[in-house]
A and B are shown apart, each in its own frame.
Chain A
Amino acid sequence: MKKLLLLLSFSGALFLLGGCWDRTEINDLAIATSAAIDQKENDQIELSLEIFLPKAFGGGSAQGGQAGGQGITLVISQTGSNMADALSKLQGVLPREIFWGHCKTFVFSEAVAKKGIIDHLDFLLRQPDIRERAYIFVSEKKARRILEQKTNLEPYTGQALLEQTDFGIGMRVTMQELDEMLVSRMQSAALPYLKIKTQKKSEEEKFRFADISGVAVFRKDKMIGRLSEERTRGLLWLRDEIKGYTVSASPPGVNGVVSVNPVSVYSKMTPSIVDGKWRILLTIKTDGVIVQNSTPLDFFNPTSLASVEAALQDSIETRVRESLEKTQHQMKADVANFAAEFYREYPEEWKQVENHWPEKLSEVEVEVDARMIIRSQGNLILPANEKEGGEQW
């Protein structure tokens, strides 16, 4: 009798093993891969989601041409008074439950960014199933159009943007990092800026694609301007985020250009306050490999190596200065996060300028100490175009 009861209770427990209220089957989910937020009239916003189409993916290899571009994803939009409202309307038109776990790209249109993004961010950060690691972008025109672009190598735009960002040429900002920028003392932020570019495929066929070009600069949570690609590089040197990007310079007195790939970059900001003057010493140490040399310089000669290094250092310094000129002085946005540096070293002095930091920021003097060390010159000892001095065979 006792055994029978035990057996019954165990079998009863089997029914619980299937899970209960929260079971979700994969075929009940609409997997969102990217999201876009656009501004509409009357303070309305439009939320667009790129939804993964499982059928298109499954049959992709058999039907060949199906995969790529819109074949694999679907973009749908709804308008609402805020994110939550638009999302609930979106859910209303979808037969499956929206799943956020794979949504790794969020695009805000410039119009939204100019009005302020903090309210939208509140929604995104509040949901437990939206990833803090998702990348955030600002798009020049309509954000929905970014999602609609065709891609060639990657299955859909969201994925293409992710891979491109990971490559490290532009800026990379995750939702968590954006949140950190917005709540921290710098009171400003920078997000990668997307443009839609057109390239001719053939005479009549044009190919459009989303391109990361520069950054959008924010004061508090409102976009106030943008930096060109060149100035973005300067910003990346400042923020110690530069990766896989070639520096070129031509040494004084010679024709041609030497290009170097940074292998490792280390940059550091050292704040100092002397006699009420706020200063930042920026040290950038770069180890590089020569990838192209169109000058006649022979690097066995230490002086010519040093002159190339000096020229490269100047080029890095110019980049950084140009980008600071724009952000620090014109926009008064602390995108390089000087605030944290000063607060760390001088918490007492910081408290006095806390309330008027953007004004104080433009008074901060920046000294750039760029150091470039060439570690290797690739597979060539002498330049390919060497003419003078070299013996002819």
Chain B
Amino acid sequence: MEKGKISSLQMAMILYPAVVATAILLVPSLTAQYAKQDLWISPMLASIVGFVTIFIAVRLHQLYPGKNIFQIIEETIGRLPGKLAGLLILFFYIEITGEMTRGYGSFIVNTFLKQTPLVVTIASMVFLCAFAVYGGIEVLARAAQFFFPLFFIPFLFLVLLLSPYFQVHYIEPVLADGWVPVIKGAVVPSGWFAELFLIVFFLPYLTDKGKAMKYGILTVAGIGITLVTANLTALFVLGPTLPTKVYALMNASHYISYADFFENLESVTMAIWIIGAFVKISAFYYVIVLGIAQWLNLSDYRPLIWPIGILIVEFGYWSLPSSIELARFESRIFPFYSLLMQTTLLIIIFVIASVRKKGRKKLGLSE
């Protein structure tokens, strides 16, 4: 079905923006609402979820080499329950991809194109992503590879340009209220780390499977460092006002001003966000159509692209009434939903699979 092959590094370059793109804009203030000045510790705790997800996904793939996730699920828990679990995963992905495009669309509409109808921003992004998905995994990987520096370097520049405005003393006192607020704050970013579940769809198409674990772990570390940096940048610039902002880094970038003319750099933040959102939505979109094709044993996933695209737009447009509701979804529902449907599910499958494999070995049965 998918004949393309990508390298582990390319996979890492798809996964990194797929998690970070939405996280750097929303996570700082959502985390700050709980953890306050300790918000930089939260992503470190949350990254445990990422490490667990990557580790289990790669191990699972080693237990069942060459099989896709739906085949693995069906082998471990049986055909019918397996199909049902697969349906749940796919439904989850369609829904959150819808919400993701909604997040993208409402960011654009709220901050820049105020007169533009929301559906136009959502539909044009999905339309663009559809082309990338149509190209298959290799095109997706190449696009991610091309956009990675365009995503990463402006982010670094943003942090660098903001550094003269840093008020480092905002970080103190460390852990004034103990660990509980920090752990509460970690729940939000852990929902984003759970999205690394995407790796299970890419693993079968790697040319260098031996490096998958290494690059997976590197991706988690990279995401962790980026989120800590984003959180600290927002904290150092905005201080106690951070929890009140919707897009904290956006507000922080308003603050850049050099020599009275090098200012108003929010367009850079917007560019980072759009590039990241493109890679992110494309990756999820690809996983959905590939997943459905695998789940239904179709010979090609391409005919699914347009109908699924319409579904994503529908979910993006209709599932939430307002951007207030969207923010509530992102902070209160998404983390648990995401953890449940991705990491928790993966752990359950892995436990069952390893018990079964061991049981078979004990009985001396061959595969």
Interface residues of A (CB under 8 A from B): 20-22, 101, 125, 128, 131-133, 176, 179-180, 183-185, 340, 343-345, 347
Contacts and interface: CB of A to CB of B under 8 A. Distances in A.
Contacts of A131: 254, 264
Contacts of A176: 238, 241, 251, 255
A380 B101 CA distance: 70
B172 interface: yes
B324 interface: no
Nearest to A346: B173
Interface string B254-290: 1101000001100000000000000000000000000
B257 A22 contact: no
Contacts of A347: 173, 176-177
A344 B116 contact: no
Contacts of B111: 128
Nearest to A19: B113
Interface string B109-135: 011111111001000000000000000
A343 B117 contact: no
A340 B167 CA distance: 12
Interface of B: 110-117, 120, 169, 172-173, 176-177, 238-241, 244, 250-251, 254-255, 257, 263-264
Contact of B255 (A21, A128, A132, A343): A132
B239 A184 contact: yes
B264 A101 contact: yes
Contact of A21 (B117, B173, B254): B117
B173 A20 contact: no
Contact of B251 (A21, A132, A185): A132
Given A128-B111, A179-B241, A183-B240, A133 B176 contact: no
Nearest to B172: A344
A76 to B, nearest CB: 23
B120 A20 contact: yes
A22 B240 contact: no
Given A125-B244, A183-B240, A347-B176, 6 more contacts: A21-B117, A22-B116, A128-B111, A133-B257, A133-B263, A347-B173
A345 B173 contact: yes
A128 B110 CA distance: 8
B111 to A, nearest CB: 5
Contacts of B176: 343, 347
24 contacts: A20-B116, A21-B113, A21-B116, A21-B117, A125-B244, A128-B110, A128-B111, A131-B254, A131-B264, A132-B255, A133-B257, A176-B241, A176-B251, A180-B238, A180-B241, A183-B244, A185-B240, A340-B169, A344-B169, A344-B173, A345-B172, A347-B173, A347-B176, A347-B177
Contacts of B120: 20-21
A180 B237 CA distance: 10
Contacts of B113: 21-22
A250 B263 CA distance: 45
A153 B113 CA distance: 38
A54 B176 CA distance: 54
A185 B169 CA distance: 14
B116 A343 contact: no
B115 to A, nearest CB: 4
A105 to B, nearest CB: 14
B334 to A, nearest CB: 24
B185 to A, nearest CB: 17
Shortest beta-carbon contacts, A-B, top 7 = A347-B176, A21-B115, A344-B172, A22-B113, A21-B116, A184-B240, A128-B111
